[in-house]
Amino acid sequence: MKLGLIGKGIMNSSSPDLHVRLGELTGAPASYDLFDTNEQPTASLDSEVRRVMAQSYRGVNVTYPYKEEAVRLATRVGEGARLVGAANTLVFHDGEIQAENTDFTGFISGYRATVGDRHPGRVLLIGTGGVGKAVAFGLGKLGAEEIVLMDLDAGKSQRLANELINAGFPASTIAPEALETTAARCDGLVNCTPIGHEKNPGCPLSAALIRRDQWIFDAVYVPAVTEFIIAAHAADAQVVSGVSLFVFQGVDAFKFFCEDAEKRALADEKAETLFDHYKQTLLQEKNA
């Protein structure tokens, strides 16, 4: 399979390694190319998609700043892309373009693989950008009792709350000053901001707010163990790592690209192995 990624500033992406590994593990060999539009100032998502379709690519992943535009290019739109209004995966078949959002499905898969059937309960979600939207709708699909949104841009969090409510998922917003009291009444705490990334260290919440009976998710996966995750482990809370989102969104995209049902099932079976691999790799890179 010829696969690729279209976006800006993507030359350090780990996606080629992930998809080539999946191809090797499942017996469905794949190549994976990067199409960084920073390197081609006149390129657009549309022009790049048309070019790779003409070159018999099976599909591409799409990242910043093209995820919303990707939905508009599609002739078929999957549930996640429809709900979130954005796509990170485009699959090509007989001139058709299928749009999917595997950040949405990948969060759901990573959550279930980590905490099993645990009900999300009431969840505080901080950061309502692209990944925040996908995770919010994933929480809705998982049956969250309420999704409480906080963003420094109040208008953005309110728009997402309205979209969730319109889709039938209970949602509300809070101001930053209500963070502490809200965290105390929530079952889950979710970070979808860049806080905690190696280039933006810190913790989105005071460590003292995390309790043993809560679960947390950190969308940041570089480093694999963030300050938020360290604080959650110290409190003995359940942790859903951002590495799981990276792996499961990739596995789900690979499954959309792959037409062989047996190899799709094998990709699912290899997800845990890949999670362990990337967690160890990221830890080693941090300590190098």
Per residue in 107-123, pLDDT tens?
999 999 999 999 999 99
Supply the pLDDT for residue 282. 79
Q: What is the pTM of this model?
A: 0.94
Chain-wide mean pLDDT for the chain?
95
Q: Report whether 60 contacts 52 (CB < 8 A).
A: yes
pLDDT at 288 over 70: no
Is residue 285 over pLDDT 90?
no
* Residues 73 and 46 sit within 8 Å (Cβ to Cβ): yes
Query: Coil, helix or strand for 199?
Result: coil
- Judged by phi (left if over 0) then psi (alpha if -120 to 50, else beta), residue 204 lies in alpha
Q: What percent of the chain has pLDDT over 90?
A: 94
What band does 75 get if pLDDT is binned at 50, 70 and 90?
A: very high
Query: What pLDDT shows up at residue 283?
Result: 72
Q: Is the pLDDT of residue 42 over 90?
A: no
Where do you find CATH 3.40.50.720 in the chain?
A: 117-241
- Residue 109 CB: number of other CB atoms within 10 A? 21
Q: Would you please indicate which residues are annotated as catalytic (active-site) residues?
A: 67
Where does the chain hold its CATH 3.40.50.10860 domain(s)? 2-104+244-287
117-241: CATH homologous superfamily? NAD(P)-binding Rossmann-like Domain (3.40.50.720)
Top CATH class, 2-104+244-287:
alpha beta
User: Nearest to residue 32, comparing CAs of 40, 24, 42?
Assistant: 24
Assess whether pLDDT exceeds 60 at residue 287. Answer: no
Average pLDDT over residues 83-94: 97
Decide if 203 contacts 216 (C-beta within 8 A): no
